[in-house]
Amino acid sequence: MKVLFLFFSVTLLMLTDASFNSSRADESSPAAKLLFSMPDNDGILISYMDEVLTELTKRTGIECVIKVLPKKRALHDANRGVLDGVGIRVKGLQSKFPNLSMVAVPVITVQHTLFAKDPEILSYVSDLDTLIKHAQLMGYTVAYLHGSKKAEQEVSGLPAENKQYFYQPQKIFRLLELGKVGVYLAGPAISNRVILNNFFADAGIQEAAVISEFELFPYVHKKNAAYIPQLEQALRAMTDDGTLHRIRLAIEME
């Protein structure tokens, strides 16, 4: 009888201890994990979004992390549900990637900017309309990044012979330096300013004009739509208390 009592006592103790440890693990572990893709050509925005997601993890209990991939794969893997979402993209992405749902609070407002070196271009071009007129008049090329839907819209008024896309911003800055292209229609400006200052500071390239400002948003795969209200609530709070602004300033100063 004593042996039987001892057996049940030890068993109960083990079950209680396991339940306690399980409870502690649940308390210390995130409620879920969301893996957001970031295209590898997003430059400084990758570092920015990494800090934003770290703060979101603290505020929501949802572990939010980044996986950097080639741009095409980053978007398609998120749409297919291989990953849980896309870190930071323009509004309306779901028109091309229907399985993605937008978190309707912007994480940053960015600009599209015109960079040039030629003094005549710098003195004449002040907005998109003057760029289109001047590029056709003088016959130079306006360069922009492949895959940027916003840039494609902005150069849509130019004839084919006056525009050309490239895959890397460093390539375009080099061509600007050599006089092979006339203007670089660049976005987001925050990333391109860092490249210009770090690698082409002595090339004589300057900003001609800011031509547009627009917001960027996170997206989640529709299977994760239940997390959107939590993410939106946390992002609103981060906007209101200045956290997003402080993260941006810190990243820009690195």
**3-class secondary structure for 214-253?**
EEEEEEEEHHHHHHHHHHHHHHHHHHHCCHHHHHHHHHHH
How many C-alpha atoms does 199 have within 13 Å on its Cβ side?
14
Whether the predicted pLDDT of 238 surpasses 90: yes
Residue-wise pLDDT tens digits, 23-58: 333 333 445 899 999 998 888 999 999 999 999 999
Q: For the residues 190-208, what does the mean pLDDT come to?
A: 93
- When pLDDT is cut at 50, 70 and 90, the band that residue 74 belongs to is very high
CATH class of 28-107+217-253: alpha beta
Compute, in degrees rounded to 10, the torsion defined by CA atoms 170, 199, 37, 76. Answer: 0
Average pLDDT over residues 125-140: 97
Residue limits of CATH 3.40.190.10 in the chain: 28-107+217-253, 110-213
CATH of domain 110-213: 3.40.190.10
Q: According to the model, what pLDDT value does residue 183 have?
A: 98
* pLDDT number for residue 150: 85
Expressed in angstroms, the distance from the first to the final Cα of the chain is: 72
Task: Give the pairing type, strands 62-69 and 100-102.
Answer: unpaired
Phi, psi of 170 (to 5 degrees): -60, -40
The pTM for the full model equals 0.75
